[in-house]
């Protein structure tokens, strides 16, 4: 409880310090290195790539969970306070509330300055789609969608996993999430190799995504956004995405802000048809980015409160 609370507080204050080596980058490097090795070991057939991708996923999960677990156990032998300090740092680095706001607001500032190229560059840092042909409205929508989707991936889900099993379980979640973002694509290279990681990501996010959506609805009511429309759009559009989880929070955000999100998008030079989420009750505007960030923060606070109460209740029962 102490480590999670302090880690959450540090994230809200400082965000991701660029000077500090980030464990998620290390996990990403391990995935890239592991992919190169495993592709040489397994045959270049559908089954070979499926099995190779599964082996990579298992190895990355064991590494990402086992290393922090062993570090914390060793630290506890030296001093319980050393363990708390190290786990606080780990929890801090697992969360990404302020960094998500910071990066999305860079897009907002470029849009306000009417620097479309700058806005495209900034949004390209936080989305996986092609951004070179996006107009101002499409850039705005991309930033809002990223904030909405990552409210679950970067905040709610990590908090839930850390509340259940501390930093090691938090890293387990982030390793799966990172694999999905790197190899979970449905293109020629990763259709089979990344399938296991993609399905695993769907599984571990199934409950957190829905919890995040419900808490975002509560947050929209607290912020005096249109929570009734958020509920309506959530029920109608929460599956308007290729992923069973991504549209859960996107639908709530679209409904709360009264805008339409998603739609067709280009990835790796290819147009992918995508359903829309929400109704265009009003035109998308630049200020929807800070509004989405207000939803992010309110949802994060509610999630943290529930996690701490749940952990306290579990300790009391034990």
Tell me the per-residue pLDDT of 168-187, one tens digit each, with 9 for 90 and over: 999 999 999 999 989 988 88
pLDDT, tens digit (0-9, with 9 covering 90-100), for 108-127: 999 999 999 999 999 998 88
DSSP reduced 3-state for 1: coil
Q: What is the mean pLDDT of residues 12-29?
A: 87
Question: What is the separation, in whole angstroms, between the first and last Cα of the chain?
Answer: 15
Q: For 95, which DSSP code?
A: -
Q: Give the span between the Cα atoms of 100 and 301, in whole angstroms.
A: 15
DSSP reduced 3-state for 272: strand
Enter the pTM of the model.
Answer: 0.93
Q: Give the span between the Cα atoms of 78 and 247, in whole angstroms.
A: 45
DSSP reduced 3-state for 194: coil
Name the pLDDT band for 238 (thresholds 50, 70, 90).
very high
* Contact of 96 with 126, CB cutoff 8 Å: no
Q: Give the span between the Cα atoms of 152 and 250, in whole angstroms.
A: 10
**What pLDDT is stored for residue 269 in this prediction?**
63
Cα atoms in the Cβ-side hemisphere of radius 13 Å centred on 309 = 6
**What pLDDT is stored for residue 266 in this prediction?**
66
* Contact of 180 with 27, CB cutoff 8 Å: no
Give the number of residues written for the chain: 318
If one compares 268 and 197, the residue with the highest pLDDT of the two is: 197
| Structure tokens given for 291 | 């509004």
9-18, long-range: CB < 8 A, 24+ apart: 10/88, 10/92, 11/92, 11/95, 11/96, 11/97, 11/98, 11/99, 12/97, 12/98, 13/98, 14/92, 14/98, 15/96, 15/97, 15/98, 15/99, 15/101, 15/102, 16/93, 16/96, 16/98, 16/99
- The answer to whether residue 228 scores a pLDDT higher than 80 is yes
Q: Give the span between the Cα atoms of 153 and 205, in whole angstroms.
A: 8
Name the pLDDT band for 137 (thresholds 50, 70, 90).
very high
If one compares 288 and 315, the residue with the highest pLDDT of the two is: 288
Angle at alpha carbon of residue 308, lines to 306 and 312, rounded to 5°: 115
**What pLDDT is stored for residue 316 in this prediction?**
86
Rounded to the nearest integer, the mean pLDDT of the chain is 93
Domain total of the chain: 1
Domain that holds residue 287: 2-317
* Contact of 23 with 178, CB cutoff 8 Å: no
- Quote the percentage of the chain above a pLDDT of 90: 84
Helices (H), 42-191: 46-78, 80-94, 97-112, 116-124, 136-151, 157-183
């Amino acid at each position: 409880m102490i480590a999670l609370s302090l880690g959450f507080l540090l994230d809200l204050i400082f965000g991701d310090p660029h000077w500090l080596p980030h464990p998620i980058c290390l996990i990403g490097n391990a995935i890239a290195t592991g992919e190169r090795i495993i592709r040489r070991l397994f045959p270049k057939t559908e089954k070979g790539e499926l099995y190779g991708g599964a082996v990579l996923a298992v190895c990355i999960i064991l590494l990402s969970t086992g290393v922090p677990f062993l570090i914390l156990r060793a630290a506890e032998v030296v001093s319980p306070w050393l363990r708390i300090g190290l786990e606080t740092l780990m929890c801090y680095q697992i969360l990404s509330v302020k960094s998500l706001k910071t990066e999305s607001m860079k897009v907002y500032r470029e849009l306000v300055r009417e620097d479309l190229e700058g806005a495209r560059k900034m949004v390209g840092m936080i989305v996986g789609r092609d951004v070179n042909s996006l107009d101002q409205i499409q850039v705005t929508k991309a930033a809002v969608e990223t904030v909405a989707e990552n409210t679950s991936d970067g905040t709610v889900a990590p908090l839930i996993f850390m509340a259940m099993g501390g930093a090691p379980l938090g890293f387990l979640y982030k390793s799966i999430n990172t694999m999905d973002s790197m190899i979970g694509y449905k293109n020629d290279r990763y259709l089979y190799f990344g399938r296991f990681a993609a399905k695993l990501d769907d599984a571990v996010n199934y409950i957190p995504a829905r919890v995040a959506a419900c808490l975002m609805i509560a947050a929209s009511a607290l912020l005096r956004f249109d929570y009734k429309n958020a509920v309506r759009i959530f029920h109608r559009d929460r599956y308007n995405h290729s992923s069973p989880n991504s549209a859960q929070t996107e639908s709530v955000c679209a409904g709360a802000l009264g805008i339409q999100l998603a739609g067709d998008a280009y990835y790796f030079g290819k147009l992918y048809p995508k359903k829309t989420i929400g109704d265009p009750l009003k035109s998308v505007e630049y200020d929807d980015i800070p509004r989405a960030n207000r939803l992010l923060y309110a949802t994060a606070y509610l999630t943290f409160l529930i996690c701490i109460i749940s952990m306290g209740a579990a300790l009391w029962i034990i």
